[in-house]
């Protein structure tokens, strides 16, 4: 296993499982940073 695989391993582990479908930490991090970006842009333009 390379050092990149070791570094990214936590992003591939399941964070939440709802209805038999798991969501990885990478998807959670992407959602949170995307929501933060939208909020900051909306705040800037108000």
Helix, coil or strand: residue 1: coil
pLDDT top residue among 40 and 46: 40
pLDDT the model gives residue 1: 79
Structure confidence by residue, pLDDT tens digits, 1-20:
799 989 989 899 999 999 99
- pLDDT bin (cut points 50, 70, 90) of residue 29 is very high
């Amino acid at each position: 296993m390379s050092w990149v695989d070791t570094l990214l391993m936590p992003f591939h582990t399941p964070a939440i499982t709802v209805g038999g479908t798991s969501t990885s930490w990478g998807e959670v991090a992407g959602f949170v940073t995307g929501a933060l970006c939208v909020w900051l842009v909306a705040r800037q333009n108000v």
